Amino acid sequence: MEKGYLSIVLHAHLPFVRHPEYEDFLEEDWLFEAISETYIPLINVFDSLAADGVDFRLTMSLTPTLIAMLTDPLLQERYLRHITRLIQLSESEVERTRWQPQFHELARMYRERFNNCKYVFETKYGRNLVLAFKKFQDMGKLEIITCAATHGFLPLMELNPNAVRAQIAIAAQNYEKHLGRPPRGIWLPECGYYSGLEEILKQYGIKFFFTDSHGVLYGSPRPKYGVFAPIYCPNGVAAFGRDLESSKQVWSAQEGYPGDYCYRDFYRDAGFDLDYDYIRPYLHGDGVRTNLGVKYYQITGPTDHKEPYVRVRALGKAAEHAGNFMFNREKQAEYLQSIMDRKPIIVSPYDAELFGHWWFEGPEWLDFLFRKLHFDQDNIRPITPMEYLDENPKNQKATPSLSSWGYKGYAEVWLEGSNDWVYRHLHKAAQRMVELARNNNPKNPTDGLTLRALNQAARELLLAQGSDWAFIMKTGTMVQYAIKRTKDHVNSFNALYGMINEKRIDRKFLEDLENRDNIFPELNYKVYA
């Protein structure tokens, strides 16, 4: 009989980046790399666990922006172009490295991986990876949860409840459209919670969400079991708190598993290492060297001299680390059970893109972990939050505390000198959107243009609200792109607002926006009223 539960949560998210106006676009690589290095490897792990009868449980968010991109025909087409190019590169690499056995073996590994990506993407799942994840949800192994529509950081949106409601309503609608049933849980963007948010969540049938540790731990009244049991908000929506120890084992730059010297080095990439003329055909149009995802070295140590990556040894480490993680959870549960009068739940959330993209061996680590949990022990049972609540319906009532999982635990990452200027504009646009929704009611069928402009205005607002832009402005990579996206969406919104009020909509302008920012075709602007 188990002593406790383990709930692993992966938050899969990328901002909406789609630029039909360009032949190719650097930032679209975010999606393509995540598909090849994270989403497909995870799907392969799930497939292999299911095939081997491993009864795994995992909770995973697929954010509405990610779903929109994964189901978009243009981006699907471009992913195929991207992976086809990588297959060509890997074939060429297999030839080039023929006299270097260690590299040759790795080149063959990449060739096999890229071909597998193409097969899984195109043939096995018909270009729609959302259906792949849905398959595991339908099998009862995976609980897919939603997220706010465009990953808006909700504590800084609280001022305008209609804007928050729209983020949730559109997310729930998007989820149901692609996954065939309403969402039961949500990953709050950046784990950002403010008290009262649960009222809106409940309206859309959401039964649970997650906070960082202090969100639950600092809840009031004082939560008896700390983060090791969920609390019910006064309205009955459950909040699960993050376990810090298990987070640290994976996340921490110093102590975390991904820093092991045997693992693949993220920074050494063929895109930078190989002869320019040779690599040029695989780079973007501007010819700037970028990572290509063909990486031959292991972390090796705190040195610039890197040794070639040895796959077998790295996989051995991943198995060892999975065993270590499981052992620690067993000890943790054992100890907790001695001071709790119920079985603890250990909630371990991670960014999905950590697995595979950053920590190359991460998907294999998950694979080993679930196999070991299934075959090697009885102390810990993997569980989804929904299953936990079904088995343990009685939980303490308390209101969580405002919190996020960002640096220092509150709003500072998204509200500091580099990005605080966005809120004046985001709030104004949200206020104007509510005004538009209340004042316009185009029923006349000849007024299709106004209706379209209203819906597009909502899309522009939503896209401007994504927390990713503020995050990028703070962290300092691709800053210009984030600033431009914010300004363009706000300015486009304001232009539409003016056109709708003046009753003179520029059709071409609207069509260009609709063509580019085509997220949520099902959206109805009335959600803001």
Contacts with another protein in 34-53 (CB under 8 A)?
34
Nearest to 63 by CA among 347, 293, 353: 353
The correct pick among 116, 377, 423, 524 for binding another protein (CB under 8 A) is 423
- In what helix (H) or strand (E) does residue 351 lie, and over which residues does it extend? strand 345-351
**Which of positions 105-134 make contact with another protein (CB under 8 A)?**
none
Which of 122, 199, 307, 488 binds another protein (CB under 8 A)? It is: 488
Site size with another protein, rule: CB under 8 A: 123
Q: Taking CB under 8 A as the rule, does residue 438 contact another protein? A: no
**Nearer Cβ to another protein (172/250):** 250
- For residue 399, what are the β-bridge partners? 220
The 143-162 contact track toward another protein, x by CB under 8 A, reads ------------xx--x---
Question: Looking at 75-83, 180-188, 221-229, 362-370, which segment touches another protein (CB under 8 A)?
Answer: 221-229
Q: Which residue has the tokens 């109805």?
A: 524
Half-sphere exposure for 130 (CA within 13 Å, toward CB): 23
Which residue among 88, 115, 328, 418 contacts another protein (CB under 8 A)?
328
Selected binder of another protein within 294, 326, 352, 373 (CB under 8 A): 352
Strands 231-232 and 58-62: unpaired
Concatenated DSSP letters for 366-392?
A: HHHHHHHHHHS-SSEEE--HHHHHHH-
- Which 377-406 residues touch another protein, going by CB under 8 A? 396-398, 401-403, 405-406
Q: In this structure, are residues 455 and 524 in contact, taking their beta carbons and an 8 Å threshold? A: yes
508 contacts another protein (rule: CB under 8 A):
yes
Question: Smallest distance, Å, CB 508 to another protein?
Answer: 6
Structure tokens at 60: 């995973």
The SS3 assignment for 206 reads coil
User: Site residues for another protein, window 443-472 (CB under 8 A)?
Assistant: 444, 446-447, 449-450, 468, 471-472
Nearer to another protein, 23 or 95 (CB): 95
Residue 120 to residue 122: CA distance in whole angstroms: 6
Candidates 132, 188, 197, 227; binder of another protein (CB under 8 A) is: 227
**CB-CB contact of 342 with 50 (8 Å):** no
Q: Which residues contact 445 (CB under 8 A, 6 or more apart)?
A: none
Question: Rounded to whole angstroms, how far apart are CA atoms 47 and 35?
Answer: 16
Instruction: Map the footprint of another protein across residues 179-218, applying CB under 8 A.
Output: 190-191, 212-214, 217-218
Could you tell me which stretch among 111-119, 176-184, 312-320, 349-357 binds another protein (CB under 8 A)?
349-357
Establish if 505 lies at the interface with another protein (CB under 8 A): yes
**Residue 11, phi then psi, degrees to nearest 5:** -105, 105
The nearer residue to another protein, 16 or 204, going by C-beta atoms, is 16
Residue 502 engages another protein in binding (rule: CB under 8 A): yes
Which of 19, 135, 137, 226 binds another protein (CB under 8 A)? It is: 226
Between residue 302 and residue 321, which ones bind another protein under the rule CB under 8 A? 304
Q: Is position 507 an interface residue for another protein (rule: CB under 8 A)? A: yes
> Is the peptide bond prior to 155 cis by the omega test (within 30 degrees of 0)?
no
Closer of 173 and 247 to another protein (Cβ): 247
Amino acid at 399: T
Among 171, 172, 239, 490, binds another protein (CB under 8 A): 490
Q: Give the DSSP H or E segment for 190.
A: none
Residue tagged 């009753």 (tokens): 503
24 binds another protein (CB under 8 A): no
Which residues contact residue 453 at a Cβ distance below 8 angstroms, ignoring those fewer than 6 apart?
496, 499, 500, 505, 510
Determine contact, residues 346/332, Cβ cutoff 8 Å: yes
CA dihedral sign of residues 467, 470, 476, 481: positive
For another protein, which residue of 1, 95, 123, 393 counts as binding (CB under 8 A)?
95
Residue 48 or residue 324: which is nearer to another protein going by CB?
324
For tokens 């040794």, the residue is 307
Please report how close the Cβ of residue 375 comes to another protein at its closest, in angstroms.
24
Q: Is 100 in the site for another protein (CB under 8 A)?
A: yes
- Give min distance, CB of 333 to another protein, in A: 11
Site string for another protein, 251-290 (x = CB under 8 A): xxx------------xx----xx-x--x---------xxx
Half-sphere exposure of 461 (CA within 13 A, CB side): 34
Minimum CB–partner distance for residue 477 and another protein (Å): 4
Q: Which stretch binds another protein (CB under 8 A): 22-30, 39-47, 124-132, 312-320?
A: 22-30
Of all helices (H) and strands (E), which one includes residue 332?
helix 311-339
Mode of pairing for the β-strands spanning 380-382 and 208-211: unpaired
Cβ-based nearer residue to another protein, 204 or 251? 251
Closest to another protein by CB, 54 or 144: 144
